[in-house]
Amino acid sequence: MSQKQWIAGINAVAAALEHDAEHVREVLIEAGAKNPRIVEIEANARRLDIDVRRVATQAIDGIVGDLRHQGVVARYAAAKTWNENELEALVEGAEGRALLLILDGVQDPHNLGACLRSAAAAGITAVIIPKDKSVQVNATVRKTSAGAADSVAVIPVTNLARTMRDLQKLGVWLYGLAGEADTSLYSLDLRGNVGLVLGGEADGLRRLTRENCDQLVKIPMPGAGSLGVESLNVSVASGVTLFEVVRQRGASK
């Protein structure tokens, strides 16, 4: 079932037109906007027979509130909403090469959007987030993800620990990122069914999440001590870990 909403910003609207135009219902553009990319968006929308209207800035502000829209928004019927019951079929369909990103309590929509963008680029099977105590896919997430929020399977789950145990039964090996771990990410074999588990911005992995990982690993940071950096931002860490999987799988072809 789809739900109507607004997406805002040049990158988000352009990506929606390019990758998921069938769900774009109309595009509103700030009257007088001459940015070449907005002109291109207008032309693409008209070519796709999508309604385009030039409206006052105040009209767009009234729709998206404080969200920075850059002079363009689109009314969007969101793509498929994924259910946790579909996770098993996604894993089995990956034929032994499932790649899952499990985000335990990410609160910042910009971080979630950036994680989804990296996940889409890495060819993710699914991104799993808790339904509670975690930001959900909203307008800010969609904008930051530049369309990735609707091109990957984002699956909110009721009980993250139970979902992790179910994944293990399906043959998925779960690696939790923790700065104090002894094992380096780069020492792992990540070519099979893999779930990468990352914690939220403030507290990292919760206790139950840690306990349900098969192994805790770290991203080596040789310069961390001199810079006073204890950990990487969750979106940076997800990009590093996802593309280590991509590197290994590419090398194995």
pLDDT tens, position by position, for the chain (253 residues)?
344 578 888 988 998 888 778 888 999 999 988 899 999 999 999 999 999 999 999 999 888 887 789 999 998 876 667 889 999 999 999 999 999 999 998 999 999 999 999 999 999 999 999 998 888 888 778 778 877 887 899 999 999 999 999 999 999 999 999 988 999 999 999 999 999 999 987 778 999 999 999 999 999 987 665 554 567 889 999 999 999 999 999 855 5
- pLDDT at site 251: 56
- pLDDT at site 7: 84
Q: Tell me how far apart the terminal alpha carbons of the chain are, to the nearest angstrom.
A: 38
Q: Which of 62, 77, 92 is the last residue of a domain?
A: 77
Q: Name the pairing type of β-strands 24-30 and 72-77.
A: antiparallel
- pLDDT at site 119: 96
Closest CA to 142 of 134, 131, 154: 154
Q: Which of 54, 77, 100 is the last residue of a domain?
A: 77
On whether both 182 and 107 belong to a single domain, the answer is yes
Q: Which of 26, 45, 77 is the last residue of a domain?
A: 77
CATH code, 34: 3.30.1330.30
On whether both 68 and 89 belong to a single domain, the answer is no
On whether both 138 and 116 belong to a single domain, the answer is yes
- pLDDT at site 230: 62
On whether both 177 and 60 belong to a single domain, the answer is no
On whether both 240 and 200 belong to a single domain, the answer is yes
On whether both 65 and 101 belong to a single domain, the answer is no
Question: Domain count of the chain?
Answer: 2
CATH code, 245: 3.40.1280.10
On whether both 102 and 192 belong to a single domain, the answer is yes
- pLDDT at site 198: 96
- pTM exceeds 0.85 for this model: no
On whether both 90 and 61 belong to a single domain, the answer is no
On whether both 209 and 245 belong to a single domain, the answer is yes
- pLDDT at site 195: 98
**DSSP codes of every residue in 179-231:** TT-SEEGGGS--SSSEEEEEEBTTTBS-HHHHHTSSEEEE---TTHHHHT--S
- pLDDT at site 79: 62
33/53 Cα distance (integer angstroms): 12
On whether both 44 and 141 belong to a single domain, the answer is no
On whether both 61 and 122 belong to a single domain, the answer is no
Query: What's the domain range around 204?
Result: 84-251
- pLDDT at site 232: 82
- pLDDT at site 223: 66
On whether both 158 and 242 belong to a single domain, the answer is yes
